[in-house]
Amino acid sequence: MSAYIRLATPMIDRECLLDALADMGFGQGKVEVNASAVPLVGYEGTPRSTTAEVVIRREHVGSASNDLGFVRTPTGFTAIVSDYDRRRFGESWLRDLHARYEHHARRKEERLAAEERRKLEEERRALVEAQRQAIHEKARKMGYRVEETREAEKVRMVLVKRVY
């Protein structure tokens, strides 16, 4: 019977963790993601009392191995590795996994920042268009005609009223 040890990993984003695991050779179909924690299975094929939300089953790890797991805690995912598998999935493997996680976390942060910039730009354009429409309506009600010219990012509006 194997003993499981818990190794703290400062990884909080499940999507980035899954991408990092895929980089480490545990791609789609090899990683089981569960809404709630499920028992890990030992090398004898018997369920253990140790549970995890993200599980790499033993058939993907090695025939004499146990399941690898990642349980969500308030401070991030904690890796659950059996004492036997610690030789292969110990500190150096977790360091490499964390490096891949950091890479994916940076890319996700950049992507979200770009999406946020795009969203703010769309909101700004919508506001400018709403102001432009309001000026056109008010000018029309007052008997003016609006002549508009665009210079780069600026809109120049001239109100023209013919008086006879």
| Identity of the residue numbered 44 | E
Say if pTM beats, i.e. exceeds, 0.85.
no
d(Cα 11, Cα 89) in Å, to the nearest integer?
Answer: 16
Domain ranges of the chain: 4-113
Which residues, in sequence order, are bridge partners of residue 78? Answer: 8, 71
Per-residue pLDDT reduced to its tens digit, 94-130? 889 999 999 999 999 999 999 999 999 999 989 988 9
3-state secondary structure of 126: helix
Average pLDDT score over the chain = 86
Separation between Cα atoms, residue 70 and residue 63, nearest integer Å:
20
Extract the residue ranges of the chain whose pLDDT is less than 50.
1
